[in-house]
Amino acid sequence: MDRSSFGGFEYSVTAFNAYIRKQFVEKFRTLLVFFIIMLFPYVWAKMLGTFFIIVFSMGSDIRSKKLDMMTFLPFSKGMIYWYEFIFVSLFIVLSFFIGLPFYNGTLLEAFGDLLAAIIFAAAYFGLIVIVSMLGMDPIGGAFIILILDLVFSSFGSMQLGESFNPYKFISPIVQGNQLAALVFAVFCLYMGSVLFSKRGGEK
C-alpha cells in the first residue's frame, strides 16, 4: 500500500468515526432501545431491532432531509449510504457476540442466524432507500415493505405443486433458500446505492 492509498484509507476511517459519533449523539436513546431488543439470542429479535434502527436512522434522516446538509460536510452520498449500512451491521454483529453465550443451539446454527440477520439488514436497507428515492415516505414505505414481505411469504409452500410460492426462497424474513435470499439482498443493496448516489436525500 503506497502512502496515497494509506492517506485515503486513513481519511475514510476518520470520516466513518465522525459519522458514527454524529449518529450516536443524535439518536442514542432510540438506538439503545432497539439494541437491547437485539441482544435476545433469537434471529427474529435481531431482525426486529435492525428494522427499527434502519427506520429511525437512515429513514428518519431521509424524511427530515438531514442528508442534504450532511453532503456539505466531508461526506459524499456514497459514503453516507455505505457508512450507514456498516453502522447497522455493527449493531447486528455486536449484539450477536454479546448474546452468543446464551444462544440455545450449535455454534454453526448461531452463525447461520447471524448471516440471516445481515441478509435481512441488507435487503431492507436497500429496499427502504429505493422506495424513498422513488418518492415514497421512508418510514411509511418501510412498514409497507414489512407488511408485504410478511403477507407474500405467509402463504404457499416451497415444494413444487399448486401451492408453490417461489417468493419464500428470497423473502428477507423467511429466507427459504439462504443463498437465493443473499443474492436478492445484495441486489437490493446495490440498487439502493445506485439510486441514492444519484438522488441523495431528495424525495
Q: DSSP letters of the chain?
A: --HHHHHHHHHHHHHHHHHHHHHHHHHHHHHHHHHHHHTSSSHHHHHHHHHHHHIIIIIHHHHTTHHHHHTTTT--HHHHHHHHHHHHHHHHHHHHHHHGGG-SS-HHHHHHHHHHHHHHHHHHHHHHHHHHHTTS-HHHHHHHHHHHHHHHTTSSBSSSSTTB-THHHH-TTT-SSHHHHHHHHHHHHHHHHHHHHHHTT--
Q: Mean pLDDT over residues 8-34, rounded? A: 83
Residue 156: predicted pLDDT: 79
* Residue 201 in this model has a pLDDT that exceeds 70: no
pLDDT tens profile 105-146? 889 999 999 999 999 999 999 999 999 999 899 899 999 999
- Angle, helix 43-54 to helix 3-38, in steps of 10 degrees: 120
- Asked if the model's pLDDT at residue 15 lies above 50, the reply is yes
pLDDT at 148 over 70: yes
Q: How much is the pLDDT for 71?
A: 57
Number of domains into which the chain is organized: 1
For the segment 63-82, what is each residue's pLDDT rounded down to a tens digit?
766 665 565 566 778 888 99
What lies within 8 Å, CB to CB, of 95 at 6+ separation is: 35, 38, 39, 46, 49
pLDDT of residue 46: 94
Q: Distance (Å, rounded) from C-alpha 58 to C-alpha 138?
A: 9
Mean pLDDT of the chain: 86
Query: Is the distance from CB of 145 to CB of 131 less than 8 angstroms?
Result: yes
Smallest CA-to-CA distance from 31 within 99, 92, 96, 106 is with 92
pLDDT digits (tens, 9 = 90+) for 41-52: 899 999 999 999
The percent of residues above 70 in pLDDT, for the chain, comes to 89
Question: Taking 50 as the threshold, does the pLDDT of residue 202 lie above it?
Answer: no
* Segments forming the whole domain that contains residue 77: 3-199
Q: Distance of alpha carbon 96 from its chain centroid, rounded? A: 15
> Tell me, what's the pLDDT at 69?
59
